[in-house]
Amino acid sequence: MMNDEDTAQGQPPHVAALAAIFGAQRTERLALRRVQARDGPALFAIDGDPATHQFNPPGSASAELADREARLREWLRHWDADGVGYWAIMLAGAPEVIGFGGVQRIVWRKRDALNLYYRFAPRAWGHGYATEMARVAVTLARAHLPQWPVIARVRPANVPSQRVAERVGLLRRPDLDDAEHAALALGWEG
């Protein structure tokens, strides 16, 4: 696994090239960088805030530090294996992480796909940051990984999250819904 300096040494050329493209991005207001081991406290604070799970069933979000550390290790493995994964999100010029998001490869319905994810600290809600970050993630995904559809699986009651996915080009796909999630997708054929 890579250390906090996150070099691409030892990776296959295509993974290293993707990591160089996806590893750090900027928007007018945001800095997006690959997650690092040192992001554990920020992940614990954001993901551990009950407000960030208001649309999830009670008890679905673990309050255990070990669970969040395992999630962070999984995110780091995705960067190492695929050259793409979720970002730590900061306001441009500020060191504090205000959220996590981006695209990460998953196998869904027996196919490789890119899962669009975003979770922000409540103080960052209502500023359009999720849409701004998601737009970058989807644009990069379609340009550099067009073979993989982009999907967002959202709780049906989480209308704000569905709107973010729609604003960045994902289409509501009731045919892909499951018992717990409404599905939105871009590039999903069949």
Asked whether the predicted pLDDT for residue 7 surpasses 60, the reply is no
pLDDT of residue 3: 38
Q: Where are the domains of the chain?
A: 13-186
Please write the tens of the pLDDT for every residue from 123-152. 999 999 999 999 999 999 999 999 999 999
Asked whether the predicted pLDDT for residue 186 surpasses 50, the reply is yes
- What is the rounded CA–CA span in Å between residue 47 and residue 42? 8
> What is each CA distance from 90 to 86, 87, 115, 167, in whole angstroms?
13, 9, 21, 21
CB 79 within 8 A of CB 35: yes
Query: Which range scores top for mean pLDDT: 2-6, 51-55, 176-180?
Result: 176-180
- What is the rounded CA–CA span in Å between residue 173 and residue 137? 20
The residue to which tokens 């959220």 are assigned:
99
Return the minimum-mean-pLDDT range out of 24-38, 67-81, 165-179. Answer: 67-81
CB 130 within 8 A of CB 101: yes
Instruction: Return the C-alpha torsion angle 149, 153, 156, 160, nearest 10.
Output: -80
pLDDT of residue 55: 80
Whether the full predicted model's pTM is greater than 0.85, yes or no, is: yes
Give the pairing of strands 150-154 and 111-120. Answer: parallel
Q: Which residues does residue 90 pair with via DSSP β-bridges, in sequence order?
A: 31, 97
Alpha helices in the chain (DSSP H): 13-22, 40-47, 65-82, 129-144, 159-167
Please write the tens of the pLDDT for every residue from 51-90. 887 787 555 555 666 777 888 999 999 999 999 999 999 9
pLDDT of residue 64: 64
Q: Which CATH architecture has domain 13-186?
A: 3-Layer(aba) Sandwich (3.40)
Asked whether the predicted pLDDT for residue 5 surpasses 50, the reply is no
